[in-house]
A and B are shown apart, each in its own frame.
Chain A
Amino acid sequence: MDTFKGEHLLPGHLGQFFTILSFGSALFAAISYYFATTNPLDTSWKRLGRIGFFINTASVIGIVVSLFYIIFSHLFEYYYAWEHSSRALPVHFIISSFWDGQEGSFLLWNFWQAVIGNILIWKAKSWEKPVMAVVALSQAILATMLIGVDILGQRIGSSPFILLREAINLKESAPIFASNPALYHNYLSYIKDGNGMNPLLQNYWMVIHPPTLFLGFASMVVPFAYAIAGLWQKRYTEWVKPAISYSLFAMMVLGTGIIMGAFWAYESLSFGGFWAWDPVENASIIPWLILVGAVHVMIVYKNTGHSYFTATILVLTSFVLVLYASFLTRSGVLGDTSVHAFTDAGMFWHLVADVVIFLVLAIVMLAIRWKELPRTKKDEETYSREFWMFVGAIFLCLSCFHLVVVSSIPVWNLMFGTKVAPPSDPVKHYNIVQASFAVVVTLLTGVTQFMKYKKTDITKFFITSAVYLILAGVITGVIIYVTGVYKLQFVFILIMVGAIYSILANAKVFIEALKGKVKLAGSAVAHIGFGLIMVGALISAGTSIVISENTTGEQFSEDFVKTKNNPKENIILYKNTPVQMGKYMVSYVGDSIAPPNHYFKVNYKAVDANGKVTEEFMLKPNAQANMKMGLISSPDTKHYLFSDLYTHVNMSNAITIGEGTGEAGHDEADDDKKYEAPLVYEVSPGDTIRFREGYMILESIAKKDHISDITLTDKDIAIGAKLHVVSHDKAYEAEPVYMIRSNNAFDFARKVEDAGLKLRFTKVIPQKNKIEVTVYQQPESAKKWIVMRAIKFPDINFLWSGTIIMVIGILLSIFRRNKELKSE
């Protein structure tokens, strides 16, 4: 075998050892817990199961530490470190490059599931054995995603510890290695740096969003495991109570993770919004919707004994959908329907198997116990809370069903050999269909607050709910009039009614709770938060306006104007040339460069009728001119309490690829080409020279003692012409220099970049007592410009604050359910 100089193989071997150990120990734990469950009298099985799971936890930590060590020490002989990290990355991004790739994100999931398993061992008591059998099984299957071993010619999983030279054919990409074995032996000394992280991901949300999201995914195994354990142990009625707290936790964390993603997209990715209905986004919300439905039905079951069957099915489905979502995003099946799915890592069937195993497990358990499942003979009362909570949960499932059907179009094509394309205007399609479900769901979160479990006083119910509905209608009327939502489709107005109704009804419950039944506050608060999310999403997405509409650009064809589906959203801004956008005068005033970021300074000025500036601020959208990806830009946003102003630069000639990485060396002749033909002026002090965008005054001519880094001797003569340049109400100073050294004349030009000028002091004319100044002006097209897009999002703060309120509400509910568990 070849040996290679400079490789650090130990951390990789250790990591690989731990991945195998983590799989083995998880499988061992699962089997031990299985026998512990089937032989309840033999306690040694349980002990073995625990030992197995502790070893698994230790080995997962071992994998994590090995991988972190590799990334932190910049060991680029490892493909993962080379691909996802680089020396220039700051520490917090080095940490996040850990979960930049498929393998790392599986590892993150694995890690959280290990943590959750330990919490279960500590807390689950009589449930530990069956529940941990399922969790350990899930842990073992997740571990296979990382082992990366060839079995029968088929690679199982993808290891993060694969070496660069194993992953990439170095001899092919660098032919020099093929011809020269000595060089190849020493290949590592030529791998100076890693690929680095995609600039789009270099954001603080990359540090916090994936861990949150994966904690949410990982925690969804717990309710699933409880449901299976309940069926297995025939403890049909008992499993629901402890599972509620865990489900609430998963719902809270996953919900937070999803909204974090939305906030990230809104703040720094160039989607121009917080939600784009991309299949990858949908994949995260699909299991969440079912889980929310499941939690509600579980509560129904706990309080009334109804809907056992639905609760079980929903809990089981939610976890299978987590796995399905992971299949959708990781298998490469989404192909050309999504912008940000992972590409296929050769794990298609492996991921399918993962879904199938748990789906079959769920179906088999249900089928075996089918006849014994507790069923209620009597229907729910029509005017009972449980019935309408159940209806609401089913509508959440329908909403989820729709998302699954549309996001999986590539899967249907693959299965049935069809060639159906996603809707051509997916956002509109999703918005309208999902809005219809949202109307029902929001109305129900309000109505059910006026009902009681089992039996409700009908007259009182109709009076209160009608009063609140009228109130909600009035408030909605005011809101839609003020915000302009009334211009939207009718279904969106209905959501507004539903959301306001839900907020009002739950506010009533909340106020009552403060008076006495405080334990009810959790759900009320969560529902208020949800209502606010709907209000914020609706107003900001529905009434956002592009204020950078192009009114100046020439039209290329008449058809352009006729097609309404593509508003002209981009506008070109020349440097220092203000353009009116909405109520603002907007101008691009300059750049500030802090490698690798290039910030474009965009000045916004609001002027009232009297010409007085009422408001002025600067936004700095930035761009990275990345060597590998070209221009990567992120927006900047001005936040007001009731609206946000979003500015995004698409393109600019002020930025060059590879900027900041090396000096652009060019000679004078080349430089002159960037300007229009020079104009020559003969002037004496006090004279004015006019140019297209301003004027300059020759203030004085003075002898110079030194010129920056050139040392002057007594024989040299150097004279500077002090010029005061005024362009677009801004003043600049420039002093081109004329020099004679040993009978040769030189001159040193000075540039005024902002004004697009280059000035030369080209001749002294003693006879006339004048000097000659040559003025180079940049042509209009060479002037710096940016192409930008500005969007106003009103009332988006309702969305963010609603999320926080919802999380607080769910947290209160968790405390309440835990207290109930303890008091029994």
Chain B
Amino acid sequence: MKKSSIFGLIVIAIAIAVIISVYSTSSTYGSFKDAKSADTELHIVGHLNKQKQLFYDATKDANYFSFYMKDNKGEECKVVFTGSKPQDFERSEQIVLTGQMRGDEFHASKILMKCPSKYTQDKVEITEAKAKQASI
């Protein structure tokens, strides 16, 4: 066999190994219900329940942040995050959590949030307009 063909085979083998390793370490998207039965970390997409309390008190523990999230199936669960509260969390529209269940709480190791359009919100500020109108 030619050397280049041997090398070609090795490359193909490595490429397959890469795909397998990606596939095996890749996580899945799920719900809180799935998380209860799973023993590995998974991703849960959902949104913040703004009615319930967000708890973060830096003076008590700067690394404890908890809130309630509803997953896409509507199930709600208390979420605990070890770390400080992400900026602007209240305004998040969608949250992607990575983590696993511990008892009744979902312990997130990572929080990724989507804000409506974080900075460039397509809304003109009208405070100016109102103030002006009073003087007309």
Chain A to chain B: the 8 pairs with minimum beta-carbon distance, closest first: A566-B82, A424-B41, A174-B126, A421-B43, A421-B27, A190-B129, A553-B61, A630-B88
A420 at the interface (CB under 8 A from B): yes
19 contacts between A and B (CB under 8 A): A174-B126, A183-B129, A190-B128, A336-B45, A336-B96, A379-B2, A391-B7, A421-B26, A421-B28, A424-B25, A424-B40, A559-B102, A563-B102, A570-B62, A570-B84, A572-B58, A630-B88, A650-B62, A787-B62
Would you give the shortest CB distance from A430 to chain B, in whole angstroms? 10
Would you give the shortest CB distance from A379 to chain B, in whole angstroms? 5
B33 at the interface (CB under 8 A from A): no
Partner of B83, one of A164, A429, A570: A570
Q: Which chain B residues lie closer than 8 Å to A398 at the CB level?
A: 11, 14-15, 18
- Closest A residue to B11 by beta carbon equals A394
A804 at the interface (CB under 8 A from B): no
**B58 engages A787 (CB within 8 Å):** yes
Report B66-115 residues with CB < 8 Å from chain A CB: 80, 82-85, 87-88, 91, 94, 96, 98, 102-103, 107, 109-110, 112, 114
Partner of B28, one of A336, A387, A419, A566: A419
B52 at the interface (CB under 8 A from A): no
Q: Which chain A residues lie closer than 8 Å to B102 at the CB level?
A: 559, 563
> For the complex, what is the distance from the CA of A60 to the CA of B2, rounded to whole Å?
52
Q: Which residues of A line the B interface, CB within 8 A?
A: 83-84, 164, 167-168, 170, 173-174, 176-177, 183, 189-192, 195, 198, 336-337, 339, 343, 379-380, 382, 387, 391, 394, 398, 401-402, 405-406, 409, 419-425, 429, 433, 550, 553-557, 559-560, 563, 565-566, 568-572, 628-632, 650-651, 653, 780-781, 785, 787
Partner of A563, one of B82, B84, B87, B112: B82
**B59 engages A173 (CB within 8 Å):** no
**B124 engages A191 (CB within 8 Å):** yes
**B126 engages A632 (CB within 8 Å):** no
> For the complex, what is the distance from the CA of A343 to the CA of B118, rounded to whole Å?
10
> For the complex, what is the distance from the CA of A445 to the CA of B129, rounded to whole Å?
65
Would you give the shortest CB distance from B87 to chain A, in whole angstroms? 5
Q: Which chain A residues lie closer than 8 Å to B98 at the CB level?
A: 424
**B122 engages A167 (CB within 8 Å):** yes
- Closest B residue to A413 by beta carbon equals B29
Would you give the shortest CB distance from B70 to chain A, in whole angstroms? 16
> Known pairs A191-B128, A651-B58. 13 more at Cβ < 8 A?
A168-B122, A168-B123, A174-B129, A191-B124, A198-B118, A382-B3, A550-B63, A555-B61, A557-B80, A560-B64, A563-B102, A571-B62, A651-B85
**A336 engages B83 (CB within 8 Å):** no
B135 at the interface (CB under 8 A from A): no
Q: Which chain A residues lie closer than 8 Å to B45 at the CB level?
A: 336
> For the complex, what is the distance from the CA of A387 to the CA of B4, rounded to whole Å?
9
**B62 engages A556 (CB within 8 Å):** no
Q: A174-B129, A420-B28, A568-B82 are in contact. Are A405 and B124 (CB under 8 A)?
A: no
**A569 engages B83 (CB within 8 Å):** yes
B21 at the interface (CB under 8 A from A): yes
> For the complex, what is the distance from the CA of A173 to the CA of B36, rounded to whole Å?
43
> For the complex, what is the distance from the CA of A422 to the CA of B40, rounded to whole Å?
14
B37 at the interface (CB under 8 A from A): no
**A628 engages B119 (CB within 8 Å):** yes
Q: A382-B3, A651-B85 are in contact. Are A420 and B126 (CB under 8 A)?
A: no
**A422 engages B87 (CB within 8 Å):** no
**A183 engages B133 (CB within 8 Å):** yes
Partner of B133, one of A176, A568, A570: A176
Q: Which chain B residues lie closer than 8 Å to A653 at the CB level?
A: 58
**B25 engages A423 (CB within 8 Å):** yes
**A405 engages B64 (CB within 8 Å):** no
> For the complex, what is the distance from the CA of A189 to the CA of B126, rounded to whole Å?
11
> For the complex, what is the distance from the CA of A653 to the CA of B40, rounded to whole Å?
37
Interface centre among B94, B103, B110 (most CB of A within 10 A): B110
**B82 engages A423 (CB within 8 Å):** no
